[in-house]
Chains A and B, each alone.
Chain A
């Protein structure tokens, strides 16, 4: 080694410039030591996600003339967007997907009723912190909740990934959003997300990595972390990120350990155990800790926005764009014919818990339907065990099969023309729920539940 090289590689040399999470994650996925913001890299994702669109992707992929996808273990496929099949055409679509799964030996395949892709891949620890997941679903930004780099891509791109394992990505600028202090009672991460999108617009985060931090983010319960990166798809973001805390690492480690112990048990022909042996969880934790990535102190941010948590109020997105936000108090005279609690944004156990708490001992308003769709079978089982489903049904709620439900207008709760829905989903575009002449308002699960009881957009504090 000559002296010049020695100087560069020694600790006394030029310190490396501070890097963002996005730089580190894409450098790792591209097999490079470091990358610059704006650089275009060929990245190899750890996980390639598709759902009910898998059959259409398969038809594109078949044009390549390959018999086998390059790395079947990296594919993850869920049936969630229209499940169980509402029509023969949907059923044929699912059948084609099952045939592909069998033919290619896809292990990470999740059947009708298992749940929504982003919830299931989180519960099953298919994606790990610090990894790259690319999916033919715009809400693939979701995985930032656990410190992974997730981005949505198109169907042709997924087909290309099945064939080649790599895709070009530009290393994005990072926007940092800080939340200081604790959110007031009845104010949730959903309200904060809507506030940010309302303030900066539906393209406020266009092409950017959105990184959340601050004491208000640290104070969020684990499930609330899942809302923010998910909602950033409505902000134009490429991806979103929250640095994982100990609770996140523990969640993923427990689930990675469980998945592996089930797989081992299945190989031995045993019934699957309920919990993984402690040693398997310890191994999983060590593996995850080695993968963790975070932005350096002094990392280059294109913009920093700061919010005081005490200033965030219950917020509603009005028709027909997510950035058309108002304070809840400004829209509380709007009558609703349907209240929809569910989706990858807000269909988890804590969401059903707050809804059950609000509707306990009450009945949904006459003329208002209350539709509850758990985000996964696991959420449904936990909600059954804890009595939430009993409470919700007693109050007049209809329980749907775990999946996306009517979120994008496929089935299971399409509104009639002229009707208004209050929804815990992430998107309220005209026609989104299947009918262009209906209005969709977006809000937190607490507001959705209170609205179901009152028959109009309502503040849960009115029911206290």
Chain B
């Protein structure tokens, strides 16, 4: 997970959780495959069929604003999304992504220049995004977040701390 490699799926500003994962499914859909099937349903119907594991979502400002629904992050994890590089994130989505082991990378410079379909590399260890337009660094995660990422997500982190 230190270096993620994939193609870019590029979206705009203020992409909200209702178009990432519609609210009407939140209390009736639970299986991993079924949750995955509805990802970006109202934003980009081509995503679920065209997506390859490791692909990277590249977005503008405030990706994942709106609801706290965690499926907005898990539906992307279940499709194999490697990372999301954005100018900024909705704060609950940001937490949900990291808690589910999905790197949410704040890197406005890279997010602006990456083109749809570009080959993108996200290096978590050296905090760098590489793309055809160049190499862009992003600030390291805080220690609290790194502990969660290193454990493989919040649930694994809590399990470990309860056993300790």
A interface residues, Cβ below 8 angstroms from B: 40, 52-53, 56, 60, 63-64, 66, 81-82, 87, 89-90, 93, 135-138, 140, 152-157, 159-160, 163-164, 168, 170, 202-203, 206-207, 233-234, 236, 238, 321, 323, 408-410, 427, 429-432, 434, 436
When the two chains form their complex, are residues A90 and B161 in contact, meaning their CB atoms are under 8 A apart?
no
When the two chains form their complex, are residues A89 and B158 in contact, meaning their CB atoms are under 8 A apart?
no
How does the 8 Å CB contact mask read for B9-40 relative to A, with 1 for contact and 0 for none? 00001101111001110111010000000000
Min distance, Cβ A97 to any Cβ of chain B, angstroms: 10
Min distance, Cβ A154 to any Cβ of chain B, angstroms: 4
Min distance, Cβ B126 to any Cβ of chain A, angstroms: 23
Q: Identify the closest chain A residue to B90 (Cβ).
A: A236
Given pairs A154-B73, A156-B96, A430-B42, 16 additional interface contacts (CB within 8 A): A40-B144, A52-B27, A53-B27, A64-B159, A81-B26, A138-B68, A138-B92, A153-B92, A157-B99, A203-B14, A408-B24, A408-B67, A410-B23, A427-B66, A434-B24, A436-B42
Min distance, Cβ A411 to any Cβ of chain B, angstroms: 9
User: 7 tightest A-B contacts by CB?
Assistant: A408-B23, A203-B62, A429-B18, A154-B96, A431-B42, A409-B24, A154-B70
Q: How far is the CA of A207 from the CA of B2 in the complex (A)?
A: 27
Query: Contacts A152-B92, A163-B158 hold; do A410 and B19 have CB atoms under 8 A apart?
Result: no
What are 23 contact pairs spanning A and B, CB under 8 A?
A40-B142, A53-B26, A63-B159, A64-B158, A66-B162, A81-B27, A90-B28, A137-B68, A152-B92, A153-B92, A153-B95, A160-B154, A170-B142, A202-B14, A202-B62, A203-B14, A203-B65, A206-B88, A323-B14, A410-B23, A430-B42, A434-B23, A436-B22
* Contacting residues, chain A, for B99 (C-beta < 8 A): 154, 156-157
Classify the secondary structure of A's interface with B: loop
Question: Which of B27, B67, B161 has the most C-beta atoms of chain A within 10 angstroms of its own C-beta?
Answer: B27
When the two chains form their complex, are residues A90 and B68 in contact, meaning their CB atoms are under 8 A apart?
no
Query: Contacts A154-B92, A430-B42 hold; do A236 and B62 have CB atoms under 8 A apart?
Result: yes
Chain B interface residue count, Cβ-Cβ cutoff 8 angstroms: 42
* Contacting residues, chain A, for B17 (C-beta < 8 A): 429
How does the 8 Å CB contact mask read for B52-78 relative to A, with 1 for contact and 0 for none? 000000000110011111100100000
When the two chains form their complex, are residues A431 and B95 in contact, meaning their CB atoms are under 8 A apart?
no
Q: How far is the CA of A360 from the CA of B144 in the complex (A)?
A: 57
* Contacting residues, chain B, for A140 (C-beta < 8 A): 68
When the two chains form their complex, are residues B14 and A409 in contact, meaning their CB atoms are under 8 A apart?
no
B interface residues, Cβ below 8 angstroms from A: 13-14, 16-19, 22-24, 26-28, 30, 41-42, 61-62, 65-70, 73, 88, 90-92, 95-96, 99-100, 142-144, 153-155, 158-159, 161-162
When the two chains form their complex, are residues B161 and A164 in contact, meaning their CB atoms are under 8 A apart?
yes
Min distance, Cβ A439 to any Cβ of chain B, angstroms: 14
Q: How far is the CA of A349 from the CA of B6 in the complex (A)?
A: 53
* Contacting residues, chain A, for B19 (C-beta < 8 A): 429-431, 436
* Contacting residues, chain B, for A60 (C-beta < 8 A): 155
Q: How far is the CA of A234 from the CA of B92 in the complex (A)?
A: 12
When the two chains form their complex, are residues B142 and A236 in contact, meaning their CB atoms are under 8 A apart?
no
Q: How far is the CA of A35 from the CA of B66 in the complex (A)?
A: 28
When the two chains form their complex, are residues A56 and B24 in contact, meaning their CB atoms are under 8 A apart?
no
* Contacting residues, chain A, for B68 (C-beta < 8 A): 135-138, 140, 152-155
Q: How far is the CA of A430 from the CA of B14 in the complex (A)?
A: 12
Min distance, Cβ A455 to any Cβ of chain B, angstroms: 27
* Contacting residues, chain B, for A207 (C-beta < 8 A): 91
Question: Which of A81, A90, A154, A234 has the most C-beta atoms of chain B within 10 angstroms of its own C-beta?
Answer: A154
Contact of A203 among B18, B88, B100, B154 (CB under 8 A): B88
* Contacting residues, chain A, for B158 (C-beta < 8 A): 64, 159-160, 163-164
* Contacting residues, chain B, for A432 (C-beta < 8 A): 18, 23
Min distance, Cβ B164 to any Cβ of chain A, angstroms: 11
When the two chains form their complex, are residues B70 and A236 in contact, meaning their CB atoms are under 8 A apart?
no
Q: Identify the closest chain A residue to B16 (Cβ).
A: A429
Question: Which of A238, A432, A436 has the most C-beta atoms of chain B within 10 angstroms of its own C-beta?
Answer: A432
* Contacting residues, chain B, for A153 (C-beta < 8 A): 68, 92, 95
Q: How far is the CA of A448 from the CA of B65 in the complex (A)?
A: 25
Query: Contacts A164-B158, A203-B61, A430-B42 hold; do A321 and B14 have CB atoms under 8 A apart?
Result: yes
When the two chains form their complex, are residues B162 and A64 in contact, meaning their CB atoms are under 8 A apart?
yes
When the two chains form their complex, are residues B154 and A429 in contact, meaning their CB atoms are under 8 A apart?
no
Min distance, Cβ A47 to any Cβ of chain B, angstroms: 16
* Contacting residues, chain B, for A93 (C-beta < 8 A): 27-28
Q: How far is the CA of A113 from the CA of B14 in the complex (A)?
A: 34
* Contacting residues, chain A, for B100 (C-beta < 8 A): 156
